[in-house]
C-alpha cells in the first residue's frame, strides 16, 4: 500500500499521539503542548493493545498509514489514522465510519479489506486494513507511460472484478482513480490490482439511485478528473459512475494520459460536455489496441444509459477482446462503436 510522502512540517501530541498539520500549539482534544520534529509519535508504540506500529508507510489527504503487526496473530496490517485536526470533525468521523462499514462488506482478492476499526481511550481513530505492499496504479502510469494491451487487459479486468463485487453488495465507490488502486506482485509473479479507499462509497438499495448521504450543500464528493457527468453536476448517481471512471482509467493506461488536461474544474467540464479525443489524436504516433480503445469510449458515454449497464458486461468484453476478438468487435460494432467499425477485422476481413 502506498500513500503520499509527508510534505509540510508536522506537530504531534505527546499524550494522544495525534499528528497535526498547520499551526496548532496545543492538542484540541487534551490540551497538551504539541511537539515538533521528524519523529512519528506512533512508530514503536502499541495501538489499541494489539497493533505494534512498525513504520510509517506514508500519508494522504486525511491521515497517515502505518505498517503494523498484530501482537497475537503475528500478521501485518496497514493502519490508517486521521490527522489530529480532523479526528474530532463530525464529517470526517462520518466518512471514516462509512469507509469501515463499506469495506467490511467486501471480501475479494481485488479489494483491500478492512479487518478492524476503533478508537483508543485517548480519542485516536484507527482503521486496520489488509496490507497491500506495492505501487499505486498512478505511480505505474507515471513511471511506465502507455501500457501494452495485455497489461491493460490484466489490470483493468481485476479492477472491474473488484468493483463488480462491491456493486453486487450495494456499494458504489464514487472515487475510483489510479491513486486508489494498489498493484503488488502476486504469488505467481504477475501483477495483483487491489482497490482501496471506499471513504465516500455510496450505499444504495438494489436498482436504486442516490446523491449520497455524505454530500453537503455546494460540495460534490469525488475527484473531478475522474467524475462522471452526472456526478459532476450532483445529479442522480448509481453504479454507472464507477463504470465511467473505469473507462477513463482504461484510456489513461492505453495513452499514458487522460483525454483532457487543465484545472480540475476545466477537466470536469470537459468530461461533462466534450467528446474525448481519439488516442491517436491525443498522443500522435501511439498505436493502441482498437477494441480496448472502443471499450474505453463506450464506458465514457455521457449518458449512463449508453454505457455498459453492469460490470459483468465489461468483464465479458475484456475476456472476448483477449480470447475471441472477432466476437468482441462484432459486439462493439453492434453497440454503435465507430472505433470498432473502423478497425480491421481480427480475421483479416474489413467487415463486421
Q: Which long-range contacts (CB under 8 A, 24 or more apart) does 180-184 make?
A: 180/136, 181/136, 181/137, 181/155, 181/249, 182/1, 182/2, 182/112, 182/132, 182/134, 182/135, 182/136, 182/137, 183/134, 183/135, 183/136, 183/137, 183/140, 183/155, 184/132, 184/133, 184/134, 184/135
When pLDDT is averaged across residues 57-76 and rounded to a whole number, the result is 90
Residue spans of the domains in the chain: they are 24-130, 135-342
Structure confidence at residue 146 (pLDDT): 98
- pLDDT bracket for residue 61 (50, 70, 90): confident
Q: Pick from 11, 23, 19: which is nearest to 42 by CA?
A: 19
Q: Determine the CATH number of domain 24-130.
A: 3.30.200.20
Checking if the pLDDT of 2 tops 70, the result is: no
Q: Higher-confidence residue: 81 or 201?
A: 81
Written in H, E and C, the secondary structure of 96-165 is HHHHHHHHHCCCCCCECCEEEEEECCCCCEEEEEECCCCEEHHHHHHHHCCCCHHHHHHHHHHHHHHHHH
Task: Give pLDDT, residue 6.
Answer: 46
Active-site hit among 40, 130, 175, 242: 175
Q: What average pLDDT score do residues 198-217 get?
A: 46
Label residue 320 left, alpha or beta by phi (over 0 means left) and psi (-120 to 50 means alpha): alpha
Given a cut of 70, is residue 212 above it in pLDDT? Answer: no
- pLDDT (0 to 100) of residue 150: 98
Q: Decide which of 9 and 325 is more confident.
A: 325
What secondary structure letter does DSSP report for 226?
Answer: G
Q: How far apart are the first and last CA of the chain?
A: 44
- Of residues 75 and 88, more confidence is placed in 75
Instruction: Count CB-CB contacts under 10 A for residue 348.
Output: 6
Name the more confident of 213 and 191: 191
pLDDT at position 59: 83
- Position with higher pLDDT, 206 vs 305: 305
- Residue 197, CB-side half-sphere exposure with 13 Å CA sphere: 20
Asked if pLDDT for residue 63 goes beyond 80, the answer is yes
Q: Residue 18 pLDDT > 70, yes or no?
A: yes
What is the pLDDT of the chain when averaged over all its residues? 87
Q: pLDDT tens digits, residue range 233-275?
A: 877 889 999 999 999 999 999 999 999 999 988 999 999 999 9
Residues 6 or more apart whose CB falls under 8 angstroms from that of 204 comprise 170, 171, 172, 210, 238, 239
Q: Pick the more confident residue, 211 or 252.
A: 252
* Contact present, 195 and 163 (Cβ < 8 Å): yes
Average pLDDT over residues 46-65: 91
The pLDDT value given to residue 225:
92
DSSP 8-state code for residue 176: -
Lowest-pLDDT range, 155-169, 197-211, 246-260, 316-330?
A: 197-211
Q: Is 351 a catalytic residue?
A: no
Confidence of residue 200 (pLDDT cuts 50, 70, 90): low
Q: Look at residue 105 in the predicted model and tell me its pLDDT.
A: 82
Among the listed ranges 62-76, 84-98, 173-187, 318-332, which one has the minimum average pLDDT value? 84-98
Give the pLDDT score at 208.
44
Give the model's confidence band at 31: pLDDT under 50 very low, under 70 low, under 90 confident, else very high.
very high
- Compute the distance between CA of residue 176 and CA of residue 132 in angstroms, rounded to an integer: 17
**What pTM was estimated for this model as a whole?**
0.84
Who has greater pLDDT, 282 or 97? 282
What is the average per-residue pLDDT within 137-145? 97
Give, in degrees to the nearest 5, the angle at Cα 180 between 176 and 181: 105
User: What architecture (CATH level 2) is domain 135-342?
Assistant: Orthogonal Bundle (1.10)
Question: What DSSP designation does 337 have?
Answer: -
Contacts within 8 Å (CB) and 24+ apart, 324-330: 325/291, 328/291, 329/291
pLDDT tens, 280-313? 999 999 999 999 999 999 999 999 999 999 999 9
Amino acid at each position: 500500500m502506498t500513500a503520499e510522502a509527508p510534505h509540510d512540517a508536522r506537530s504531534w501530541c505527546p499524550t494522544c499521539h495525534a499528528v497535526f498539520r498547520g499551526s496548532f500549539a496545543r492538542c484540541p482534544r487534551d490540551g497538551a503542548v504539541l511537539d515538533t520534529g521528524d519523529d512519528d509519535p506512533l512508530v514503536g508504540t502499541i495501538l489499541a493493545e494489539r497493533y505494534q506500529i512498525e513504520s510509517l508507510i506514508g500519508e494522504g489527504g486525511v491521515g497517515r498509514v502505518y505498517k503494523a503487526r498484530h501482537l497475537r496473530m503475528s500478521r501485518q496490517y496497514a493502519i490508517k489514522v486521521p490527522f489530529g485536526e480532523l479526528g474530532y470533525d463530525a464529517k470526517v468521523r462520518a466518512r471514516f465510519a462509512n469507509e469501515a462499514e463499506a469495506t467490511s462488506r467486501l471480501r475479494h482478492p481485488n479489494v483491500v479489506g478492512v479487518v478492524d476499526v476503533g478508537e483508543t481511550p485517548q480519542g485516536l481513530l484507527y482503521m486496520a486494513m489488509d496490507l497491500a505492499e506495492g505501487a499505486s496504479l498512478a505511480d505505474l502510469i507515471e513511471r511506465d507511460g502507455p501500457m501494452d494491451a495485455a497489461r491493460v487487459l490484466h489490470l483493468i479486468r481485476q479492477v472491474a472484478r473488484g468493483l463488480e463485487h462491491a456493486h453486487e453488495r450495494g456499494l458504489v465507490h464514487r472515487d475510483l482513480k489510479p491513486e486508489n488502486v494498489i498493484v503488488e506482485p502476486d504469488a505467481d509473479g504477475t501483477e495483483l490490482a487491489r482497490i482501496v479507499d471506499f471513504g465516500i462509497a455510496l450505499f444504495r438499495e438494489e436498482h436504486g439511485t442516490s446523491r449520497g448521504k455524505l454530500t453537503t450543500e455546494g460540495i460534490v464528493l469525488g475527484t473531478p478528473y475522474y467524475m462522471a457527468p452526472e456526478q459532476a453536476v450532483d445529479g442522480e448517481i448509481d453504479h454507472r459512475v464507477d463504470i465511467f471512471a473505469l473507462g477513463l482509467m482504461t484510456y489513461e493506461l492505453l495513452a499514458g494520459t487522460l483525454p483532457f488536461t487543465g484545472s480540475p474544474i476545466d477537466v470536469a467540464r470537459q468530461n461533462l460536455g466534450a467528446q474525448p479525443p481519439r488516442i491517436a489524436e491525443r498522443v500522435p504516433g501511439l498505436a493502441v489496441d482498437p477494441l480496448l480503445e472502443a471499450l474505453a469510449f463506450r464506458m465514457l458515454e455521457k449518458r449512463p444509459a449508453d454505457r455498459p449497464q453492469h460490470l459483468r458486461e465489461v468483464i465479458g468484453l475484456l475476456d472476448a477482446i483477449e480470447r475471441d476478438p472477432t466476437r468482441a468487435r462484432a459486439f462493439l460494432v453492434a453497440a454503435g462503436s465507430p472505433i470498432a467499425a473502423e478497425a480491421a477485422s481480427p480475421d483479416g476481413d474489413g467487415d463486421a
